[in-house]
Amino acid sequence: MTMRAAIIDSVAPILVLLLLGSPAAAQQLQKHSQLKSIEQCNGADRIPPQARIAGCTALIDSGEAKADALAVAYNNRGNAYTATAEYDRAIRDFDQAIELASAYAKPMNNRGVAYLRKGAYDDAVKAFDQAIEVNPNYGGAFANRGEAYLKMNQFERAARDFDEAIRLDPNSSLAWSGRCWIRAILGDLQAGLDDCNRAIQSGPENAATYDSRALIHLKMSQLAAAIDDYNSALRVEPRLASALYGRGLAKLRQGDKAGGNSDISAARIIEAKVADDFARHGVQ
């Protein structure tokens, strides 16, 4: 199973928060360099992560930001470090943001995402717990905690979190996709298919969702549909071992021995124990 795109929360623009400072600070903000730093730090996905890091660092080092604005800057820089896979740096920045603003749930959630991507699933769950405690209506944190429980093979807990995430945010593609995967591996195939379809309708292309729906089609012996979905997953993530292996099985069942064996061999090169994963999910 591939990692779904955990939900990283963006923030309100820093500019308004900084303008709440002294008149001298407000005058300083008129400088082009300061405005550029604010723009970069608020850039989210529109600006490359390194530029966001530079902008946030300039604001943090300026000594002019109030505590709330400084918390936002640390959170934004942490998101940028997460995007560059510098997870320890990201976690340190989220720690700083939380210390500055203890009721600010977004860096708690985002810290959990960094732990999740790092593979520290217990720490990720604790971070999402904290975000949910601060904001019990935080659908993204429930979806992310569900993803962490998935990685820990705690399917009942994951399903409960995805249910709650969907209740709070019916357009959460992560939650629909995660619940689809649970239903795929537990054999609740039609309900899982409905969840995957909803995930695909709700968000951008995600290899994990296509991979999950392909497994359902494979279990239902809908081989052409399974191959189509595995192709879609591999278009998004070309080295996804589960998609290669599953496509190989579907091809073998169609009688394409050469194509099936080729896909299975490629999958095993990427992930040696991929066949064991499929066996645990009831497919051999």
25: domain CATH number?
1.25.40
- Model pLDDT, residue 16: 44
Examine residue 88 and state whether it is found in any structural domain, yes or no: yes
Residue 45 CB burial class (10 angstroms; 0-12, 13-18, ≥19): exposed
Examine residue 38 and state whether it is found in any structural domain, yes or no: yes
pLDDT for 190-203, tens place per residue? 999 999 999 999 87
- What is the spatial distance between Cα 231 and Cα 206, in angstroms, rounded to a whole number? 12
The tokens for 217 are: 């089609």
Which amino acid type is present at position 92?
Answer: R
The tokens for 128 are: 């999402």
- pTM for the structure as a whole: 0.86
Domain of 78? 10-102
DSSP designation for 183: H
The tokens for 229 are: 């979905």
Examine residue 237 and state whether it is found in any structural domain, yes or no: no
Q: 216-232 burial, b for 16+ CB within 10 Å, e for fewer?
A: bbbbeebbebbbbbbeb
- Residue linked to tokens 């645990």: 280
- What is the spatial distance between Cα 125 and Cα 118, in angstroms, rounded to a whole number? 13
pLDDT for 51-75, tens place per residue? 999 999 998 998 878 888 899 999 9
Q: Are 248 and 268 in contact (CB under 8 A)?
A: no
CB-based contacts of 236: which residues, under 8 Å, 6+ apart? 205, 206, 207, 210
Examine residue 196 and state whether it is found in any structural domain, yes or no: no
How many domains in the chain? 1
pLDDT mean for each 10 residues of the chain (284 residues): 75 52 52 67 80 91 86 94 97 97 96 97 98 97 97 95 97 95 94 96 89 97 98 97 97 97 97 94 88
